[in-house]
Amino acid sequence: MEALNLALLGVVLALLSAGFALFSSHYSVLTRWLVIPLLGLSGLLVAVAGMQLLLSGGAVFTAELPFGLPWLAWHVRLDMLSGFFLLLIGVVCVAVAFYAPGYLREFEHGRGSMAVLGGFTGLFVAGMQLVVLADDAFLFMVAWELMSLSSYFLVTFQHENAANRRAGFLYLMMAEIGALCILLGYGVLAGNGHGFAFDAMRSAQVGGLWATVAFALAFLGFGMKAGLLPVHAWLPEAHPVAPSHISALMSGVMLKVAVYGFIRFSFDLLGGIQWSWGVAVLLVGSISALMGVLYALMQHDLKRLLAYHSVENIGIIFIGLGLSMVFEGAGHHLLAALGLVAALYHTINHALFKSLLFLGAGAVLHSSHQRDMEHMGGLLRLMPWTGLFFLVGCISIAALPPFNGFVSEWLTFQTALQAWSLENGVLRSLIPVAAAILALTGALAAACFVKVYGVSFLGQARSKQARKAREVDMGMRLGQGFLALLCLLLGVLPTTMIHLIDAIPRQLLHTGLDKAMAHGWLWLTPLGGQTASYSAGLVLLGLLAAWWLAALILRRGGVRQVRRCDAWDCGFSPLNARMQYTATAFSQPIRRVFGMLFAIDESVKHDESGQLRHSLQVGDRLWGWLYAPVIRSVLQAGRVAGRLQTGHLRNYLGWTLGTLVVLLWLIS
């Protein structure tokens, strides 16, 4: 019970941080020196609790809290799955606790209330922790709503901006629609299990059409919160406008809580997985991954670009989950375990490198006050530590060895390559297509982050603000460096992490990857040495040896010294910032190839001074196809309803009488 008590103490500390934040309206420094440290301590406790449970090898702790309804107390449970996600939440919270005090300094004298920011951050973290610990549908939905509502106030923290209010409204609306779907999904299980406790739902015999209905509701509800296409519209609007440490928590942690909810519902509570469900998850995940990276390539706003990459990486996670469900439904339990491990590994990897990238983007915004990459450039010379840590994040998210993103995507490919073991010919053809989409996604992601790093950190500064940028303080660097180090460790020591994760498929699927470490810690062999193997340690040694050899040759004069001077410029003026490659120019070839997928508005015209100006707007076609008609319908319904408000009492009495007549007719 010690691990569960630590986790509950972490929740209490997060709630205490929200309580102490109320006093920061008069003493704003309390947010930086009391509220945020309490959040960091809360994250440390839940991370330790999660690690303890993963090391225990299969322990399960449960408890009943003296809260809830008279006939339904709150139940909490700490098992392998919840322990893994508690570890994820805690690690990111610790990094944010290092980072936030320096980042929040500029907010202390702004319009926004520090009490609001600190209070709702504490409630947000507590809500996410409680979602993972909940062992009944009632507590789960209360914690889910706490997480959603508190994050709404964080998105709209700078509410004087119209974009923030619009993003907050869209986020809250879609969050509540998703919560309703999740509630209905739990209702199906509770109706068959005759109880709201998760143990009752596990024992329920839900089959046939009702099982598919419950799965579809959960997939829609959790997929909406996770940011899967086509219900992703809130994500690129909400993440960029929130404070950067909140963006890191939302993208790095909150989206993973939605992944947790989907795994808990589908693999644990519902059971009886059908391969057709896996096909649906695989298709949606593949489309989300490809479209997410394509939309990201079109962006110039750094935080908006990172938000679209969250859509991409959530898609990759659901590719792994879809493969696991397909193989589990087809009776290949070992391959299902491999797909689940790949998805979970990418879940924690994305939490680390996406939080790192959002913290890096926040450092750039804090120092240069720029979010548009076209106004950056040359930041590596001015912010070397931030540039180094951001580079680690770029390499990790691009899935390049020896960092962590490569391992999880490699495991996903290894799962897809086992499609030959399926008897169904359609599945044997579909899975390689999904693997090809994943390969294309990886190539496009690498191209995107070449653009991001090259345009933002290399070359010459493109604006006065970029030229005035300076390195951020030690706390902000520590938060980034901590996550960058973990990205390297999880890439170099994958067998250690997989050994911990392997307890989860053993709990949910009753099988694990017994051969993953059969050849020692240095070699990762998920299905045995005869199938595939990867040694991250040897890759790292090879890179270090190549670097050492190159340095040795240069130091001993093996390379002819090159005289440095200005290049021949055909008589033109010296190189300046306007002669550099822009983000727009970099993505133009890809925009031409995939232009049919976007709503592109491009024009070249003269401005008031007679100079030519290029204008480019790249929109989301799904917005026009799916969301705009709904908005028009709602507004039209509102106008019709408004006509009922005539201001005359006799009309209101008439409507009341008519309503009573209809109700009496229905009752009788």
For residue range 364-377, list pLDDT tens digits in order: 998 988 888 888 88
Q: Return the SS3 of 334.
A: helix
More confident residue, 30 or 316: 316
Under 8 Å CB-to-CB from 33, ≥6 apart: which residues? 101
Mean pLDDT of 138-162: 91
pLDDT 10s digits, 63-90: 988 887 777 888 999 999 999 999 999 9
Q: Which amino acid type is present at position 608?
A: E
Q: Which amino acid type is present at position 76?
A: V
pLDDT, residue 573, reads 65
- What the block records as the tokens of 562 is 């090159």
Q: Return the SS3 of 601.
A: strand
> Which sequence spans correspond to the domains of the chain?
274-552, 594-604+613-641
Q: What is the mean pLDDT of the chain?
A: 88
pLDDT, residue 110, reads 65
pLDDT, residue 569, reads 65
Query: By percentage, how much of the chain surpasses pLDDT 70?
Result: 96
Considering the entire predicted model, what is its pTM? 0.92
Q: Is the pLDDT of residue 416 over 60?
A: yes
pLDDT band (50, 70, 90) for residue 656: confident
Q: Return the SS3 of 197.
A: strand
| 168 close to 178: Cβ distance less than 8 angstroms | no
Q: Which of 298, 301, 374 is closest to 602 using CA atoms?
A: 298
Q: Is the pLDDT of residue 591 over 90?
A: no
| 35 close to 21: Cβ distance less than 8 angstroms | yes
Q: Is the pLDDT of residue 406 over 90?
A: yes
pLDDT, residue 588, reads 82
Q: Is the pLDDT of residue 654 over 70?
A: yes
Query: By percentage, how much of the chain surpasses pLDDT 90?
Result: 48
Distance in angstroms (rounded) separating the CA atoms of residues 90 and 50: 9
Give the HSE-up count for residue 303: Cα atoms under 13 Å, Cβ half-sphere.
Answer: 27
Q: Is the pLDDT of residue 216 over 70?
A: yes
Q: At what angle do helices 494-501 and 333-368 cross, to 10 degrees?
A: 120
Of 319-328, 484-493, 569-578, which range is least confident? Answer: 569-578
| 342 close to 411: Cβ distance less than 8 angstroms | yes
Alpha helices in 493-627 (DSSP H): 494-501, 503-508, 536-555, 583-593, 621-622
pLDDT, residue 615, reads 74
Number of Cβ within a 10 Å radius of residue 324: 33
pLDDT, residue 631, reads 77
pLDDT, residue 375, reads 87
b/e burial code for range 43-57 (CB count within 10 A of at least 16 → b): bbbbbbbbbbbbeee
CA distances from residue 67 to 15, 72, 102, 138, 144 in whole angstroms, order as listed: 15, 9, 37, 11, 16
Distance in angstroms (rounded) separating the CA atoms of residues 588 and 451: 12
- What the block records as the tokens of 142 is 């209360």
pLDDT, residue 526, reads 84
Q: Is the pLDDT of residue 528 over 90?
A: no
- What the block records as the tokens of 477 is 């660097």
**First-to-last CA distance in the chain?**
56
Mean pLDDT of 495-521: 86
pLDDT, residue 571, reads 64
pLDDT, residue 414, reads 92
pLDDT band (50, 70, 90) for residue 560: low
Question: In the chain, what are the helix, strand and coil shares in percent, each to the nearest 5?
Answer: 70, 5, 20
- Find the largest Cα–Cα distance for the chain: 100
Mean pLDDT of 278-291: 94
| 108 close to 29: Cβ distance less than 8 angstroms | yes
pLDDT band (50, 70, 90) for residue 641: confident
- What the block records as the tokens of 265 is 């519902």
Write the burial class of residue 266 (CB in 10 Å: 0-12 exposed, 13-18 middle, 19+ buried): buried
Mean pLDDT of 19-30: 78
pLDDT, residue 574, reads 67
Distance in angstroms (rounded) separating the CA atoms of residues 285 and 306: 18
Distance in angstroms (rounded) separating the CA atoms of residues 80 and 655: 57
pLDDT 10s digits, 108-136: 776 667 888 889 999 999 999 999 999 99
Could you tell me if residue 486 is left (phi over 0), alpha (psi between -120 and 50 degrees) or otherwise beta? alpha
The DSSP secondary-structure symbol of 204 reads -
Mean pLDDT of 3-12: 92
